[in-house]
Chains A and B, each alone.
Chain A
Amino acid sequence: MESQTPKTRSIKLPMPPGLDNLKHIVVLMMENRSFDHMLGSLKAQDPRIDGLTGNESNLDTTGATIKVQPLAEFQSQLDPDPDHHFPAVDLQIFNGDNSNPRVATMQGFVKSYFNQQHDVPHSAKILYYFPPEKLPVLSTLATEFAVFNGWFSSIPGPTVCNRAFAHYGTSFGQVSMNIFYVLEPYKSIYERMISASPAHTAKIYYYDQASSTIEIVNLLQHQPQLFGTYEQFLDDCSKGTLPDYSFVEPNYSDHDGDNGEEVASDQHPDHNVQAGEIFIASVYNAIKQNPALWESTALLIVYDEHGGIYDHVPPPACMPDGFVAQPNDTGTGRAFAFDRLGIRVPAVLVSPWVPKGTVVSGRTFEHASIPATVTKFFLGDYDQRSPREKAADTFLDLLSLPVMRTDGPDFQTD
Chain B
Amino acid sequence: MAVIKVPKPPQSAFDKNRPVSALLRNQILHLHEVERKFPPSRHSGIYINEIKTEGEAADYIRKVTARLHPEGAKRVRFDIAAAGQAKAKSRSKPKGKKS
Contacts and interface: CB of A to CB of B under 8 A. Distances in A.
Contacts of B6: 136-137, 274, 277-278, 281, 411-413
| B interface: dominant SS | helix
Given A217-B30, A256-B16, A409-B1, A282 B91 contact: yes
A408 B30 CA distance: 40
Interface string A175-200: 00111000000000000000000000
A160 B8 contact: no
B9 A74 contact: yes
Interface string A218-258: 00110010011111101101110000000000011111111
B43 to A, nearest CB: 15
A24 interface: no
B92 A260 contact: yes
Given A210-B61, A251-B91, A255-B58, A81 B9 contact: no
Contact of A208 (B8, B23, B72, B81): B72
A209 to B, nearest CB: 4
A227 B69 contact: yes
A378 B50 CA distance: 45
Contacts of B68: 216, 220-221, 224
Contacts of B94: 259-261
Contacts, number: 237
B4 A231 contact: no
Contact of A232 (B26, B62, B76, B89): B76
A206 interface: yes
Highest count of chain B CB atoms <10 Å: which of A238, A254, A262, A283: A254
B1 A408 contact: yes
A238 B97 contact: no
Nearest to A410: B3
Task: Give the contact-size bracket for chain A.
Answer: 35 or more
Contacts of B52: none
B83 A283 contact: no
Given A206-B72, A282-B86, A409-B4, A221 B34 contact: yes
Contacts of A408: 1
A252 B27 contact: yes
B83 A279 contact: no
Contacts of B9: 74-75, 263, 272, 274-275, 278
B80 to A, nearest CB: 8
A237 B84 contact: yes
A313 interface: no
A211 interface: yes
B2 to A, nearest CB: 8
B34 to A, nearest CB: 5
Across the A-B interface, give the 8 residue pairs with the lowest CB-CB distance, nearest first.
A282-B86, A255-B58, A286-B84, A414-B89, A285-B84, A238-B83, A278-B90, A413-B86
Interface of B: 1, 3-9, 13-16, 18, 21-24, 26-27, 29-31, 33-34, 54-55, 57-59, 61-62, 64-66, 68-69, 71-73, 75-95, 97-98
19 contacts: A209-B65, A209-B69, A211-B61, A214-B30, A237-B83, A238-B82, A254-B58, A255-B16, A258-B75, A259-B94, A261-B14, A263-B9, A263-B91, A277-B6, A278-B9, A286-B84, A289-B82, A410-B1, A414-B86
Interface of A: 31, 74-75, 81, 85, 136-137, 140, 144, 158-160, 177-179, 206-214, 216-217, 220-221, 224, 227-232, 234-235, 237-239, 251-265, 268, 270, 272, 274-275, 277-279, 281-286, 289-290, 407-414
